[in-house]
Amino acid sequence: MLAGTTTFAQQVELNIGKTDIGINESFEITLTVKNGRMNNYSEFPNISGFRKGRPSSSSQTTIINGQVSTQQSVTQLYQPTKQGTFKLNAFTMKVGDKSVNHPGVTLKVGKAVQRQSYDPFADFWGGGNSMSQNQSSQQFIDVKADAFYAVSTDKSSVYRGEGFKMDISFFIALSNKAELEFYKMDEQITNILKAVKPKNCWEENFNIESIRPQIITINGKSYRQYKIYEAMFYPLNTEDIVIPTTKLEMIKYQVSKRQSFFGRNRKEDREIFTSRGKTIRIKDLPDNPMKEISSVGNYRLRDKISDKELQTGESITFEFKVEGDGNINSIRQPSLSETDSLLFYPPSVSQSINRTNGKVLGSKTFQYYIEPQEPGVYELKDFIKLSIFNPRTKKYQTLYPNGTITVKGESLRNAQISKSDLGSFYDAMKNADNSIVMINQTNWVQIFLNIFVVITIGLTVFFYVKKF
């Protein structure tokens, strides 16, 4: 604040652009804060028949006779997708604790408008060349931008499987005097992400849909941070991650040396901002027998049993829920100890992931059906467990459930064995005497053979006599 100056009270305004436009033109809504900060403002409305682009912002500070006034504006552009008549419904926008309403309006989109290449005031001045000559001789000043572009990570070294956050942002100092606008951001972001996104990582994207400023302080200096992209990455191997330098092109306006009511007071120019490259070092997990089977993250266990007392042959539901901070997708299935006393059926698996405030939090649930076969008291920690490596404590740990079940009734082991019994037929075959028996030792067999021989001879004689 300058000594001996006064400031005006904060005001919030909402303005809309032309409502009758061509298919090749844009409709715009501008939110302006006078003598205050543009911070925590609400979303611009969606309009049927229009595609929302990325918002642009501008700021201005004026000192007149010791009185300081500031103005910050955010303009949202809307590109029509087809011709016709459309309705912008009434809406409200909020900046901090102040609100401003708009009653809505009807928008008309017609054929493409041919843009004029001449000065519309030329006839007013009595000739088409006088104004253009005046503009061509107009001098413009390049105002230095107090801004920078950065690809940042919250860590420079992580363990394999441990997450690190990457964000791509553009920073404009509150003291900046240059007028800047974003330029072809969809195309630029696509190319930037191709260069900086690591290929040997699992990505959890925070899906930024619109660029909204946030006031932050860096080394004692205040900036507006326009976050373009944000994601968590989890390395899948121990290969170091190299993030190269990238470039972001912005529109920057030069200002006229002599301000004029009818002439141009600014001229569009371009400025390229370059980010710094960096390397993320990936460390292997410490040597340990649990190394190859451990899930990486800051996790805790919540377990739940549907019933703690039951009879043999009945079944219960058991939930093994792992929750916390980490790559939820990579959490392994718990290890089971095989037993004939408790039958564990393969689990159903579900997970929930929440990406917010620069963190990925969530849970993964393994739901088991357990069928006891033997009476007794069973502590589930003796049968199921999950090994994890916590990168915060740099230690391995094992998650055990706390549940205990009491089983009553008769043993079902023998019944279970009988289900797989192949039957008395195979038992008879197993116990049968397979030694060779002489025919003359079995009278009924010999009688049967004698009768068979007599019948055969009789039939042969009968057919022979009949033939002759």
228 & 244 share domain: yes
Do the domain assignments include residue 459? no
- Give me 221's structure tokens: 């200096």
Residue pair 361/163 in contact (Cβ under 8 Å)? The answer is no
270 & 299 share domain: no
Do the domain assignments include residue 458? no
Q: What is the pLDDT of residue 254?
A: 84
Q: How far apart are CA 11 and CA 131, in angstroms?
A: 37
∠ CA 51-55-56, rounded to 5°: 140
Do the domain assignments include residue 463? no
Range of the domain at 81: 6-116
300 & 266 share domain: no
Do the domain assignments include residue 435? no
Element (H, E) at 205: strand 201-205
pTM as predicted: 0.61
393 & 310 share domain: yes
167 & 229 share domain: yes
Q: What is the pLDDT of residue 213?
A: 85
String of DSSP letters for 69-90: EEEEEEEEEEEESSSEEEEE--
Pairing of strands 67-80, 50-52: antiparallel
CA 189 to chain centre: 17
- Give me 198's structure tokens: 């690591």
Domain CATH code at residue 65: 2.60.40
- Give me 142's structure tokens: 């390049």
Query: In sequence order, what are the residues at sequence separation of 6 or more whose Cβ sits closer than 8 angstroms to the Cβ of residue 21?
Result: 27, 80, 107, 108, 109, 110, 113
Do the domain assignments include residue 422? no
DSSP state of 125: T
Last residue of a domain, one of 390, 415, 440: 415
Q: What is the pLDDT of residue 338?
A: 80
**Token pair 């006064």 is at which residue?**
6
304 & 276 share domain: no
SS3 99: strand
What is the torsional sign of CA 99, 104, 109, 112? negative
307 & 242 share domain: no
Do the domain assignments include residue 132? no
∠ CA 346-349-355, rounded to 5°: 160
SS3 14: strand
Query: In sequence order, what are the residues at sequence separation of 6 or more whose Cβ sits closer than 8 angstroms to the Cβ of residue 97?
Result: none
* Separation in Å, CA 262 to CA 129, 178, 256, 265, 328: 15, 22, 12, 9, 61
∠ CA 449-451-452, rounded to 5°: 65
Nearest to 76 by CA among 91, 60, 96: 91
207 & 104 share domain: no
Do the domain assignments include residue 445? no
264 & 337 share domain: no
166 & 216 share domain: yes
Q: How far apart are CA 186 and CA 251, in angstroms?
A: 15
- Give me 353's structure tokens: 């992931």
171 & 272 share domain: yes
What's the total number of domains in the chain?
A: 3
Domain CATH code at residue 326: 2.60.120
Residue pair 214/224 in contact (Cβ under 8 Å)? The answer is yes
Q: How far apart are CA 32 and CA 19, in angstroms?
A: 19
Last residue of a domain, one of 415, 446, 463: 415
Pairing of strands 342-344, 20-22: unpaired
Q: How far apart are CA 149 and CA 135, in angstroms?
A: 33
Q: How far apart are CA 266 and CA 289, in angstroms?
A: 68
- Give me 360's structure tokens: 């990925």
Residue pair 281/208 in contact (Cβ under 8 Å)? The answer is no
- Give me 320's structure tokens: 């093994």
SS3 356: strand
Do the domain assignments include residue 170? yes
Q: What is the pLDDT of residue 422?
A: 46
Q: What is the pLDDT of residue 393?
A: 95
Per-position pLDDT tens, the chain of length 468: 333 333 445 788 999 999 999 998 899 999 998 877 776 788 899 999 998 887 777 766 554 444 656 778 888 999 999 999 999 999 999 888 888 999 999 999 999 887 544 444 333 333 444 444 444 556 778 889 999 999 999 999 999 999 999 999 999 999 998 888 888 888 899 999 999 999 999 999 988 877 778 899 999 999 999 999 999 999 999 999 999 999 999 998 887 766 554 445 678 888 999 999 999 999 999 999 999 999 999 999 999 999 999 999 899 999 999 999 999 999 999 999 988 889 999 999 999 998 887 888 999 999 999 999 999 999 999 999 999 999 999 999 999 999 899 999 998 876 555 444 445 444 544 555 555 444 444 455 455 556 665 566 666 555 554 554
CA 127 to chain centre: 60
- Give me 423's structure tokens: 């039957």
Q: How far apart are CA 377 and CA 407, in angstroms?
A: 6
Last residue of a domain, one of 243, 261, 283: 283
End-to-end alpha-carbon separation of the chain, Å?
143
399 & 299 share domain: yes
**Token pair 């040396």 is at which residue?**
257
